Amino acid sequence: MNEHLRQKIADLARRCHDGARVAVLSGAGISAASGIPTFRGGSDDALWSRYRPEQLATPEAFERDPELVWRWYDWRRGLIADAAPNEAHHALVELATITDVRVITQNVDGYHQQAGSQDVIEYHGNIWTVRCTSCHFEDLDHRVPIPIPPRCPRCHELVRPAVVWFGEGIPTEAAAEAEKVAAACDILLVVGTAGAVYPAAGLVTVAGVNQATIAEFNLEPSAITQRADLYVPGSAAETLPLLLETPA
């Protein structure tokens, strides 16, 4: 990392230590250091490498073959359960002891909360929550493996993962709260997201219109990079903790 970039990060850290309001938009890249494959990055698993997420994470796929969809989600839940939050998640928890931090995550793994972040806005839901397809009862279910197909404890009908699938809208409350947080922040940290999926990517525009500083922490440039005031390349597990260093 060159000296100019280090100075830019130090300037950002100084603003955080001076009480700037920080919003975080996190994507799959923040969990990559935990060993969780990105949603669009494919799979090394011999079975699931044959499928694209768009073939499984849809209401139509679930209606057609709920057992197949649940087997895929059970596999993903197993990966998450066997891993843990990494230094990037913990850095955001520590940053919240210094200044106001609100996390908006596109991830469904629950790692932000597991690390200790409070009031996380789960833009795309949570893989550990199940929702009944009949009575709409929601409940946490951390069983791995989960009985397939899982049934509602109340009405015994089929349940589904309470996540946002392709073709479905963002929950109204989460969308409204995320936009409110993005509009009110002084700094938006964009961490590990490609900025390719809307409406989440639109939160960057909301923050920018309201004069927030956009700082992107990503392994490689994304659709957001050209709009960012600062781009920090590399693993977020290594770069985000730099914001905790007390500025000189």
Active site residues: 124
Residue 197 token pair: 């999926």
The pairs formed by 44-48 with CB atoms below 8 angstroms and a separation of 24 or more are 45/75, 48/72, 48/75
Q: Which amino acid is at 158?
A: L
Rounded to whole angstroms, the Cα distance separating 210 from 213 reads 9
Query: Quick check: 94 and 240 in contact, CB under 8 A?
Result: no
Comparing CA positions, the residue from 125, 149, 138 lying closest to residue 74 is 149
3-class secondary-structure state, position 52:
coil
Residue 74 token pair: 């059970």
- Alpha-carbon dihedral angle through residues 228, 231, 237, 243, given to the nearest 10 degrees: -80
CA 50: distance to chain centroid?
25
Residue 71 token pair: 């087997």
Rounded to whole angstroms, the Cα distance separating 165 from 23 reads 24
Rounded to whole angstroms, the Cα distance separating 199 from 175 reads 9
Q: Which residues is 213 bridged to in the sheet?
A: 187
Place of tokens 């011999």: 46
